[in-house]
Amino acid sequence: MFSSSTITERSKAGKDVAPVSLARRRRRQQMLTHRLCTLPALLVTVLVAVVPMVMLLVMSLIDEDSSAFSARYYVETLTDPFFMSTLGSTLTMAAGVTFASIVAAMPLAYLMARSPLFRNVVMPVISVPRMLPFVVVGYALILLMAPVTGLFIIWLNALGLVNGPQFFLFSWVGQAIAFSYSGVVVATAVLSGVMMSIDRQLEQAAVTLGASPFKAFLRVTLPLTMPGIIAASALIFTSIITAYAVPVILNSRVPYMISILIATNLITLQQQHLAYAQAVIVTVIALVVVVSAQIALGRYGKRGA
């Protein structure tokens, strides 16, 4: 026989367990709902990115002559001096433009984060170019800096700063300008968002303790902006090493970009499997950069926590 006190205790325990089980059930339903909501995006990613990459990898391992699996094209690619020099020039261009874009975007992003008026004026100027295809931007650069008829070249000739046609648009200088244009836009958007989340009182406290505004920026704001710098650098770097529109529109061969080499092997020379192997190598480099950035961001997140 159960006493009245035992029955009362069990009834209380039942009342306590019911809300807990109900909360668990709700959490499971929410998790299931979230997973179902992400399922379409996951399917699109698999179909658009994963499946083509797997096919590209498989095709790069098939020998055109024997139709057998072979690492022949990877060996040819990695032992080809022209490919390695082209890859080196592409990586150098990407690193230089990434650094220049971050440095140029830093003061612009700082002003946007600290001045609402400046942000309201500059944000549309920054946002509109991001909506335009780079074909439009590329031809705009040609109109401005064409060797003879470019408005900028005409202006320089009128001022007596140069004499005659200037062909720097179709050299590494032109490519650097074009890449920097898009790089500064991306870096400004990322860095301004990060700086807006930084408490301004931290800078004010550093200034109160005797630091100059510039020193306060270097010691306080810049370290807190590092996650944004890492993310923006990864975005800019990977977009440059995989860029195709800029070298094609500017018709530049100095430096010879890796994307042009892959397209030449694929379309002109009809060496498809060799081009597949080269594309896989570039993709692996881009993935290494992205994963490294994610690891660095994770470490900064743990420090912040």
Task: For residue range 140-189, list pLDDT tens digits in order.
Answer: 888 888 888 888 888 988 888 888 888 877 888 888 888 988 899 899 98
Q: In this structure, are residues 147 and 250 in contact, taking their beta carbons and an 8 Å threshold?
A: no
User: In this predicted structure, what is the pLDDT of residue 182?
Assistant: 86
Domain range holding 278? 73-304
Question: Domain of 263: which CATH number?
Answer: 1.10.3720.10
d(CA 123, CA 135): 22
Examine the pLDDT at 299 and tell me if it is beyond 90.
no
Please check whether residue 59 lies inside any domain of the structure: no
Q: Which residues are CB-neighbours of 194 under 8 A, at least 6 positions away? A: 109, 224, 225, 227, 228
Single pTM value for the model = 0.81
Please check whether residue 26 lies inside any domain of the structure: no
Examine the pLDDT at 11 and tell me if it is beyond 80.
no
> Phi and psi (nearest 5°) for 135?
-60, -45
Please check whether residue 14 lies inside any domain of the structure: no
Please check whether residue 121 lies inside any domain of the structure: yes
Examine the pLDDT at 71 and tell me if it is beyond 90.
no
Please check whether residue 24 lies inside any domain of the structure: no
Which two tokens mark 254? Answer: 């100095």
Closest CA to 70 of 249, 232, 276: 276
> Phi and psi (nearest 5°) for 171?
-130, -170
Please check whether residue 233 lies inside any domain of the structure: yes
Please check whether residue 93 lies inside any domain of the structure: yes
Q: How many domains does the chain divide into?
A: 1
* Cis, bond preceding 40 (omega within 30 deg of 0): no
Which two tokens mark 276? Answer: 């597949």
User: In this predicted structure, what is the pLDDT of residue 36?
Assistant: 80
Task: Tell me the per-residue pLDDT of 21-31, one tens digit each, with 9 for 90 and over.
Answer: 777 777 887 78
Overall average pLDDT of the 87-105 stretch: 94
Please check whether residue 50 lies inside any domain of the structure: no
